[in-house]
């Protein structure tokens, strides 16, 4: 699969839609997807329409489709070869927000979305790792609060603070993904 085709499909665009947005003919797009190197105006127009850097479209060596590679018995495609889609990454991060009160789902739903949206990159792994760490730490903090025996009101406040801490982590990471394409709260290691 060519880089242009992989990026176009990642953005859920048909060749015709990309042609309309970039003002480049469908035939030219087909030629580039079959191996011709885009240059000059064509390269700039396609990169601008796809909202990517021009360098991602240069050197249009064919990269294998992850499903095809696995079906053919070849080794799995490296994560770096699969284009990163910022809107998918934000969606994966924010999906944890829906399940902040159901801790196993705040991990499982982003994990399923990561595989479904083909975003098996370090950023998504970090998002899920942060949620895993929070899911482990939240009950520990809650149990420490109960053992301190500071009363029911303290326990209720502690539960609210634990939940709000996760909401804050998710929203702060979402804003950082928007601005700097990285996480504000991240780990030095991945749990998956």
> Which residue ranges make up each domain of the chain?
3-79, 86-180
pLDDT, one tens digit for every residue, the chain (192 residues):
688 888 888 888 899 999 999 999 999 989 888 888 888 898 899 989 988 888 888 764 444 454 544 444 444 444 445 567 788 888 998 999 998 888 889 999 999 998 888 888 888 889 999 999 999 999 999 999 889 888 888 989 999 999 999 999 999 999 998 888 888 988 887 787
Question: CB–CB of 104/114 below 8 Å?
Answer: no
Give the whole-angstrom CA distance, residue 136 versus residue 172.
20
Encoded tokens for 125: 């792994």
Write down the CATH number for the domain with range 3-79.
1.10.260.40
pLDDT of residue 53: 84
Give the whole-angstrom CA distance, residue 36 versus residue 19.
16
Q: What does the DSSP assignment read for 22-45?
A: HT--HHHHHHHHTTPPP-HHHHHH
Within 13 Å and on the Cβ side, how many CA atoms surround 149?
A: 0
pLDDT of residue 77: 44
Tell me, yes or no, if the pTM score tops 0.95: no
Q: What is the CA radius of gyration of the chain?
A: 21
Give the whole-angstrom CA distance, residue 39 versus residue 45.
10
Within 13 Å and on the Cβ side, how many CA atoms surround 36?
A: 10
């Amino acid at each position: 699969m060519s880089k242009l085709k992989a990026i176009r499909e990642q953005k859920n665009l048909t060749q015709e839609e990309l042609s309309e947005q970039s003002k480049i003919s469908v035939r030219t797009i087909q030629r580039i997807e079959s191996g011709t190197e885009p240059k000059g105006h064509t390269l700039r127009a396609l990169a601008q329409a796809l909202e990517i850097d021009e360098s991602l479209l240069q050197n249009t060596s064919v990269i294998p489709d992850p499903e095809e590679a696995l079906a053919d018995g070849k080794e799995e495609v490296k994560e770096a070869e699969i284009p990163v889609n910022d809107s998918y990454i934000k969606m994966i991060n924010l999906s944890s927000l829906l399940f902040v009160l159901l801790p196993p789902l705040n991990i499982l739903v982003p994990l399923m979305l990561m595989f479904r949206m083909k975003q098996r990159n370090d950023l998504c792994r970090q998002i899920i790792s942060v949620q895993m760490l929070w899911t482990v730490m939240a009950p520990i903090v809650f149990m420490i609060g109960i053992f301190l025996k500071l009363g029911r009101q303290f326990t209720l406040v502690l539960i609210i603070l634990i939940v709000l801490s996760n909401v804050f982590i998710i929203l702060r990471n979402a804003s950082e993904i928007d601005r700097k394409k990285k996480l504000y709260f991240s780990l030095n290691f991945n749990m998956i």
